[in-house]
Structure formats: C-alpha cells, structure tokens
Structure 1
Amino acid sequence: MSRHRKTAAAAGSAVLALALAACGGSDAEGSGSEQSLESMKPVTLSFNESVAPGSGMATALNEFLDTVTEKSGGKITFEKFYSSSLLAPTETLTGVSDGVGSISQVTPAFFQEKLPVTAWLARAAPALEPGFPLTTIQGPLAGSDFALGSEELTREYADNNVVILRSYTSGYGNAICTKRIETLADAKGVRIRVAGEPFASEAKAIGMEPVVIPGTEMFEALQRGVVDCVTAADGGEIYSTFGLTEVGKYLVPIQFSPTTFISFMMNKDQWDELPEAGQKIILETWADYEVKRLRETLTGFGRFLDDAEEKRIEFTDPREINVKLAAHQKAAVADLATSAPPGVADPEGVLKAYLDKLAEYLPVAQGLVKGGAAPPGIELKAAYRTAIDQVDFDGLHEAYVKMYTSHAG
C-alpha cells in the first residue's frame, strides 16, 4: 500500500511521508519494516549531539526523545550522548554510517570529501538575510524544504548509508575573544578558531588567521592561548555552556556566515529495520521540535547576556570589519557555480533552486519577527534580551507544518 495514500488525511502523517521520501528517494516507499509496532522488539538508539547537556537546545531535544519513547509505548528508547561524548564532530558521519552511533548531528564542513554537494551548497550561506533572529527562522525553513526535495542531496546521503531526519541553519556567527577587536587593524593576525570552510576563507579575508578546531576543544584552545578568538554557530549560550565566558572577555559581533545543512542523520540500516509506525513516531514531531528548539535557543541568548553582564564581557562594534566581510561573502556566492563538485550536472540550476528557496521564505520569516530584526553588529546586545518576545511561535509552527506537508504528495 502506498505510504502517501495512508498519510494523506493528517498533517502529522503527511510529515512522515515527506521525511520518508526525502530520506530514501524512490526507495523510501519500501524502507520501513512491515512488522507492527506492537510486535517489534524494543530498540535503544544511541543519539549523539554536540551541545552541552544543560543547554536550552538539549532541553528541546530531551522533550522530543521523551515524546518518541512515550508514543512508542517504550518500544523506542534512546541513549543520549551530549557534548559529542560518543562521536567527535569529525567522526559523526562515518560513525553513523558504520552504526557506531544510531543518530547524530552532522556538520558538513567536517566531511567535504564525503558530502561534497552539501558542503558546496553550504558556501551559499551568505545569501541568507542578516538579522537576529530573522536568519534562524528563514534558514531552517528554506534549508529543510530544499534538502528534503533535492535529488542531489538525497543521493549523496544514501551513498553514505545515512538518512536525513532534519536540517538546521544557524544565525550569522560572531566571536568571543580574549582581546578587544573592532577594526581591521585590530583583526590583523588574530588567531581564530573556525569549524572549516567557508569560515576559514572569511577569516583570512578580514586579516585573521583561522585555526580549524573541533567544538569539543574550543575551551582549551582559548584558555591556553592557542587561539585568541572562537567562533561557533549561533554563539550565545554555546559560549556559556562550553565555558568560554570564563576566558573570553569580548563579544565581537563579526558577521561570519551562518552554518547551513547541519543535520540529524540516522544509520540507514537501522532506519529501515524500524516498522513504518516507528518511523512515523520519530518523524511526525519535528515541527514541534523545531519550534521548541528555537524558543530554547532564544531564551539561551538571554541567559548568555546575564552571564556576560556578570562576567563583564564587553560587546564591541566591528562595523568596519563587517563591511569588508560582507563584500567578500557576496563575491563568493556570485562565483559559487564555477566551483561545483563533479557529478553536479547543472550547478547553476541547483544553486538557483536553493537561492529561490531562501527568497521564498524571507517574507515568511519577516512576517514572524515582530518589530524587525537586529543587524549582526553592536545592536545584538539589546536584541539578545528581546528576541524571545519578538517571534510569533504559533505562526512558526504553522509554517513548519505547511512546509513538511508540501512534500507529502
């Protein structure tokens, strides 16, 4: 029986059909086991996440996993590994592919050879509209919509024996530093931790010296003086939960590109062994999770601001740096089609499809942020406090459900 026919009546089931189609392409119709949820043997799936266990993002994930366990009648449980304690950030894709971990957050920047198309498209991140918290609404909606419908990405994931469960896009980055940085002269020669490309190229464009370091080693690198600054996707509470506010005394709102296509991926063999009802339980609540995650993330920015004020961390005004960086980013996106990896038959078409998705969701995101968005500069200090009250979370939930449902047919 067609899974799409079985799920056409309800939005939650429609979400399932979307995810199945996206995870396995044409093979997804038969990916689930035919056994019932009642007859399946209980399974424990190992879930590896990079965020710290006490963070707001971990809170949202805990609620999601607990809901899956409850809805499955205890048949699907999870062993949680926060702070990348099961798989290091540079091991996540291979670890999930080999079954060492069942599910993990995967950052494409660390796997450019295995995920060349994803890593290439991630370099189009500067096309996202700057503004806090606007980017963190536009990016995930557009990125998930695109990834779930892209033949190129679906094929790439299957080649690595993984399926994608959801895709995330951070806001524009910033840096926490041990020295005051506001001008290009200040930035020259400063060593900054980055996760890989395109951030390394962006750091070089403003005179900094990039050092590629996994997230789990950020604190030690900053504490020991291996680097003078650390940049991380979203920043904010991440800086607090990783202890970086104990060392860094300056929040420098440099406009580093968002990190796109950060994905939760699952071992394809383990996914295929789950009954369709089990797959549905895992997938149908993603819209709820996305909203909870953003709410917790924005709440976390407020907690970071409290931490920063307590530790007297100063926000600097690097507008001169951001002007030069924005020009570099614009040129990089304009030239992106010429650097597509082998196997992309129509680079211009694939890139245009992604950029069109960003354009499609920009007015949606703008309509969900009351009072406008703060640019990625000194204005972030005030925005960190007020962002939680600016977002229409009910409208955001509706947007996610609509996006998922659009893939169900």
Structure 2
Amino acid sequence: MTRTSEMPTGHGLLTDAIMTMAEGFALFDADNCLVLCNSRYRELYGYSEAEACPGVHISKLLQKDANVNLVAEVGGEDTIQRRIDTFGDTEETFDLPLADGRWVQVRDRKLPGGGTVSIHTEISRHMQTEEALRASREHYALAMRSTNEVIYDIDLATGAVRFSSGIREDFGLPEQSDSEEPWSKLIHPDFIDLYHQANADLITGKTTHLDNEYLVQDVRGDWRWVQQKGIVLRTGKGRAYRLIGSTGDITQRRKAEEALVEKEQMLRMAIDHMPGSFYMVDKDYRIQVFNDKFPEIAKLDPAKVYVGAYLDDVMMDRAIAGDFGPDDPKEIMARLKKMYQAQDYSLMKNPMQDGRIIEITRTPTETGGTVVMSKDITDQKHAEEVLRKAKEAAEAATEAVVIQT
C-alpha cells in the first residue's frame, strides 16, 4: 500500500514553503512515483508540468534527461542509469554536472514510512570556485578570503594543515597545524570512521571528490552539522600531494530537512487517524492522497488503490455492484466526475447495497482537485429510526388516552 503524507494546497504552510523554496524539491512515494514537486525542480531540469506531474515514475524523468543528453559525462560513469537502478533504496548526496555547464547538488533522503525526499540545489558558482582553486594559488587565496566556510589545505607529505578564517573561530581551529588532529578530535564518534575512510578513498583514487556530512562539536560544546567537500591534487604520475576543500555549517539546513520530514509524519498521522475515510484526487481524477480507511469503508480492492490510480479504475467495481444507483456504471462514473468538477462543497448520505449508509462530504481544492471524506453512519441512522418509532408510539399512546377520557 502506498500512501503519501502531503496535504492539498491551502491546508497549511508546508506546501507553500515547498513551492517557494529556492531549491528544487521533489517528493516521491515508496514506488518511486512523484507525489509533489516545486517549480524550481522543473526549472533545473527543463521539465514541463505535464512531464513532472504527480504519479510519474522517477525512471521516466531520468530517461528524459538521457534522451536530451542533459547530464555531462564524468569518468565514464552512467549517472542516469545508476540513479534509475538505486533510487529509493539508498540515501546519497552528490554533485551532478549538466551538459550546459551548470552543477546541481542532489540530496536524497528516505522517509521513515517509505518514499524519498529529493532536494536539488544549483551549485555552479561553488563548483567554479573549486575549479579556480585547482587552477592557481592566487584564486585559491581569494576564495579563502571571501568564503564563510572553513577552507582547508592539507599537505599530504608532511600532514601540515592550513585553515582559512571563515567559521574557523567557531570551532577553535588554529590557522595552521602540524596535523589534522585539531579538526578530527571535534568529530562525533559516530562519524569519525566515515571521515577517515572518505579521506583515504579520495587520496587512493577510489573516489574523485569528497562530499560528506557529519557532526562536529563547536567551542561552546554544541554539536553542529557540517558538509565537507574536497579534491586531491596529483603529480603527473598520479601521486596525491595536496587535499584541498571546504567545510561549511549546514546545521540550519539539516534542521529544515528534519522539520519537513516531521511535518510530513504529522500530516500522515493526522490523515491515518481520521474517524472516517479520506482521499484526494487531482483535476485529472487521479488519487493523490488517501488513508487506510478509504478502501475499507468503500469496500474497494486494495490492490487498485494507490497514488496515481485513476478514479474510474478504483470506483468502477462499486458502480457495477450498484452502490451508486441502478444506472449504467459508465454513466454513473461520468456523473461522479461531473460532480467533482463542480467547485463547491457538497454533503450526501449514500445507501450501499450491503445495507450500510455512508455520509460523504466533498470539498474542492484550489488546484481543481477534490477532497472526499466519508464515514459509516449506519448505527446513527438506525438509532434515529428507533427514536422516531418510539416517539410515534408515545404520541399514539398519548392520543389514545386523550380519546378515552
């Protein structure tokens, strides 16, 4: 069962925040189908709204990138195919070179309940700075003076390290040191092995660049998230002799990412704990959000209920069963769609073929979709009927007494 945590536009600040982010944002469900993305995501890769629409599989988007040669080749690796093969199974952060010279940093994070949040940031300027560092010492010195990150330069032969200003003071780092120990001793124990292994892989050539995120303790004793980037300079014979890079404080970014995940979990919990069923369709009548009670109350085939499924495919069985009336099922579905097109609120009580009475409320969204909530009110209606009959009996008895007197 695939279930999203996103709410329709206008139901909170979360969607507005996502849509106005300067970074590209895309949320995929556990089947790697797109649930939601913002305009910046489409802009970065040249997708139209029709191409990057809810329900489309990540492989279709990546195949479009391949068809237009969007991604530049680096080291012979087929980046697009790797993404198709591993997306949704792993968390990763990597820099993606585009054929037009731009660079995009991609950060994929798995959601606890299934699905993936993918953040895309254009880092062309940052990569140009790194290229300048490789080109000449003069450009490197300029970057050291202008950046707010810690720029480090390690002499691999002697172990000596130079740290730029930037946020160096926040971590109590000296300008120069005989070893990297002033920095490595600040790294959280859970990440120290990752730090050393990543540096070793870069130096030995197993990787071409360094890009890691880990926790470091500042001078106040607080743990802060940092992102370390780095490259190795090599001699003509391939021997590594310098490791140059930057380490920036990304604590606020990580908190923002965690807050997004937390809000998504809260939204998911709210939907799942509603007393009745909940689902939302877009303007094309495709399911975007639903909870477990939707197929349960509507007596639907769970295999047919998933994000991206068309309303016709989901509801046709119930129309055939007569739950929506005795008319032709196709005519019933056409009327149902027409009702959904009406941009106004509606409330109905629908008797089902199995004797249940279902109360259904329909609310339009600002994007042309519809939110539908329903609950089983059979017991309530039966209780009302019992009260009605009791009232009639009491009135009849009272009338009989009056007549006798």
Q: Which has the higher strand share?
A: 2
Greater RCO (Cα-Cα under 8 Å, separation 6 or more) = 1
Q: Which has the higher helix share?
A: 1
Report if TM-score (shorter chain) is over 0.5. Answer: no
Q: Which bracket does the TM-score occupy, shorter chain normalised?
A: under 0.3
TM-score normalised by structure 2 residue count? 0.25
Larger Rg: 2
TM-score normalised by structure 1 residue count? 0.25
